[in-house]
Each structure stands twice: as C-alpha cells, then as structure tokens.
Structure 1
Amino acid sequence: MSAPILVMGATSGIGKLAVQEATHREIPVRAFARSADSLEKSRLVEPFPGDATNREDVAHALKGVRAVIYALGISESLSMLWEKETLFSTTTQILVEAMSEASVRRLVAVTGYGSGRSKDAMSTIEKLGHRALLGRVYADKDRQEQIILHSALQYTIVRPVILTGGPRSGKAKVKRNPTGWHNGIVSRADVAAYLVEAVEDDLDIGRDVVLAR
C-alpha cells in the first residue's frame, strides 16, 4: 500500500469529504483534526488527533506521508466582522516549515474565491459585500496564500466559489486562466474530488485555480 495522504481538517466540511473520496479510491489517509479520535479507524483511515497550531503535532502527523491536503475551516460567527483572523496564516506557516523539514513537498490547499489575485476578478459590488462580511477572514487567507507562494513546495492553491452541500456532480470546472474566473456555486463534494485528483494525478502544480460550476 502506498504512503498515506495527510488531510488537515478531516472531520468536517471539505476535509471530511476528501477523506471519503480518497478511501472510495482505495487511497490511504491520515485524518488530522482536533476531534479525529471520533473517527473510526479502518484499513485506509488513520485517525490522527492534533492541533494544527501546534508545531509538534503537525511535525508528528507528517511522518511517512506523501502529500498534504489542507482543508481547515472556521465556524461562522458575528465576531468575524470585527475580530482579526489568524488561523489560516498561522497554521499554514507551521505546516510549510514542517513539510520542508520532513521533505514532504506536495501541498494542495483550499483557500477561497476572493483571496489572492482572484479578488481582481470580482465586480465592485462583489468586492464591497465580500469585504464587509468576510474582510478579516480573507485578509488572513491572503496572508496564507503568500506563505504558500513563497515556499519551495509543489503547491496547488484551490479557490472554490460559493459552497453547497450537494452531491458530487462531476460538473465542476477548474478555472486556470484568470480571464475565466467568476463567482458561482460548487459542491463541497466536487471540491473534495478535485483535491484528491490533484494529489493523485499531479494536477496544477505551482498554480492557483478557481473551482466553479
């Protein structure tokens, strides 16, 4: 059996679906999350409880893996409107440094539409609404992307548009050219499928893409 993929944020959202997608393809996974001990261990899934802000936990989780899918998220709350967010940049800095030390080079990281240079593809109205509601969160995703871009990793930055809870449709489009970037909807399951495919098929290394229907 091949070395596992480390999925960070493996118990909820896109991360949980990425674990399911990988195991459906018979790909071994190390499922990293604070609540990973709630997962059932199996032939293909190794629950790995840990804190992504703890350097020792992250370094330990990287031992023996061949790639990382970063799918950490935060719970929505009113405090997002005024409190500075640092989770994404902090955990990514720790991860990038730990991956370098562990000689794990492949990283597929979920950020979001409106972060990095995808912000330039938004209309003025989209930018105003996005900044008002998610400005502090996406300021940190901007910092996160810069950390990845300046690393020596074989990275792919994945920016899904508005997420839905629908099933995998196979209709998600990988928008590689900024001239084709636009908002829309995409299911978490379709995003998860692309993340696993990107690892397995070496897709879009050194690129930042947008996923949309």
Structure 2
Amino acid sequence: MRILILGATGRTGKLILQEALQQGYEVNVLVRDRSLMSVHPVLTVFEGSPADSKMLNNAMKGCDAILSALNISRNSDFPWARLRTPQDFLSKVAELIIDLAPQNNIDRIIITSAWGTSDTRGEIPWWFKWVIDNSNVGVAYSDHERQEGLFAASVLNYTIVRPSGLVNSAKRKPVIVSLNNQPKPRFTISRGDVAGFILQVLQDNLFVRQMPVISA
C-alpha cells in the first residue's frame, strides 16, 4: 500500500513517517523543503504546500490513503507566539482533500485533531479552556473544528484522531481510546503513541467516520 503523509517534517509527522516506513508502507510526502527529508528506497518526496491544489494532487497520485499531522504552527510553543501558518490552513487543505481524493480513487483519510474540539470541549480542564480562549492556541482549535466539520459532511471514510496533551516521551504506553468521554481520557499522550495508533487505525481499518480521543 502506498500512502501520502502530510506534515511529515513536524514533531508528530516525523514519527508517523518513521512508523510507516518501518511497517513496510510505500510513502509519498509533500513538504515545503525537500532537503529536510532523508533518502529512503520507498519514500517519494514532493516539494510544495498542501494548500496548493496542483501540488497536493500530484502527491496523491498512486496512493491508497492519506495521513495528515498538519497543524496551525506558531514561532514557538509559547501560547501567545505569532502564527507561522494562515488561520484557515487546516480547513483549506481539508477542502482540497475532499475535492481531490475521490478523483485519485482515495477513500481512506486519517487526520490528527485535538482533544477539546467541538463536542469534547466540555471534557478538558477549565484552565486549558482559558488558554484556548485567550491565546493563539485557540486559532488552531477553531480550524481543527472547521476541518472536522468538513470531513464529517463529506462521503469519505475518515478517522479524526483527537490526542490529549502531546508530550515527547520516548516511553511507549498502552493507548486509551475514548468515545463520548468513556473512559475518561488522561491528560497526556506521547507523540510516538499517536503515530503508532494512527498506523494501527490504517492497518485494521478502525474507527471509520469516528473521532476517537486518545490518551495514555
């Protein structure tokens, strides 16, 4: 199976790419700077923005599924840091995927979002709601919600993965999958565990047209 990974140079996307190659998938990536990618015999690198329809269409060709770890990025992890990407970046790319994927016979889409979007907002701690409402973190959450709505209204077989707080721990833990706040999510999950979960969802065709929250 050949898959397209978007966001493959990001902190979570790098691990999704690594996991996919280790599991034997053939992989296309679309990145802004191809010099950031290492050479691999089953990796094909396309250079450009996923918000560019022509570039995205070219990168999709020959693929069976799309995995996206795209996000609204800031200049640093500081919640009030300036944005590096447009405020509607995720929803714009979602619109393009929904338009172009059927033209390329791609039906399976797995997207990373975040715990605290849409119907899960009531599940997160009050202090995190405050950060979302009063900093640039909220820009990402708003656009995550827009992309979730776009995929939910599409005919594609999507899975929206909503991780809890992302940490960089190398230690892998069993992933807790929560639907409708059951079981109650824990506060964090490692990026490596997110990557492993996404590849499991792809391999076993899990949570089709669902939006599971994951924690560990």
Q: Secondary structure at the match of 1:180?
A: coil
Deviates more, 1:189-198 or 1:162-171: 162-171
Deviates more, 1:26-35 or 1:37-46: 37-46
Deviates more, 1:141-150 or 1:33-42: 33-42
CA deviation after TM superposition for structure 1 residue 84, in Å: 7.2
CA deviation after TM superposition for structure 1 residue 168, in Å: 5.0
Change in 2 beyond 3 A, CA 1:35/1:84: closer
State the aligned residue count.
209
Q: 1:156-193: CA deviations, max 9, x gaps?
A: 00011111111251422122343434351111111011
2:195 is aligned with 1:192: yes
| Paired residues of 2:10 and 2:69 also in contact (CA < 8 A) | no
Q: 1:15-68: CA deviations, max 9, x gaps?
A: 111110011111211122112343123222222222111000111111110000
C-alpha distance in 2, partners of 1:173/1:114? 16
Partner of 2:152: 149
What's the % identity of the aligned pairs? 25
TM-score if structure 1 supplies the norm length? 0.90
Which consecutive residues of structure 1, in runs of 5 or more, have no partner in the other structure?
A: none
Q: CA RMSD in A?
A: 1.9
Partner of 1:122: 124
Partner of 1:90: 92
Partner of 1:206: 209
C-alpha distance in 2, partners of 1:148/1:37? 32
C-alpha distance in 1, partners of 2:24/2:59? 20
Deviates more, 1:107-116 or 1:33-42: 33-42
| Paired residues of 1:10 and 1:36 also in contact (CA < 8 A) | no
Q: Secondary structure at the match of 1:47?
A: strand
Deviates more, 1:38-47 or 1:197-206: 38-47
TM-score if structure 2 supplies the norm length? 0.89
- Which runs of structure 2 are paired with 1:30-109 in the superposition (5 Å)? 30-77=28-75, 78-80=81-83, 85-109=87-111
Change in 2 beyond 3 A, CA 1:129/1:183: farther
C-alpha distance in 2, partners of 1:154/1:36? 30
Question: In structure 2, what residue type is equivalent to 1:93?
Answer: E
C-alpha distance in 2, partners of 1:111/1:124? 19
Partner of 1:138: 141
**Runs of at least 4 residues of structure 1 off by over 6 A?**
none
Question: In structure 1, what residue type is equivalent to 2:149?
Answer: Q
CA deviation after TM superposition for structure 1 residue 197, in Å: 1.1
C-alpha distance in 2, partners of 1:47/1:170? 31
Change in 2 beyond 3 A, CA 1:192/1:53: same
1:173 to 150, 173, 176: 176
Q: Secondary structure at the match of 1:163?
A: strand
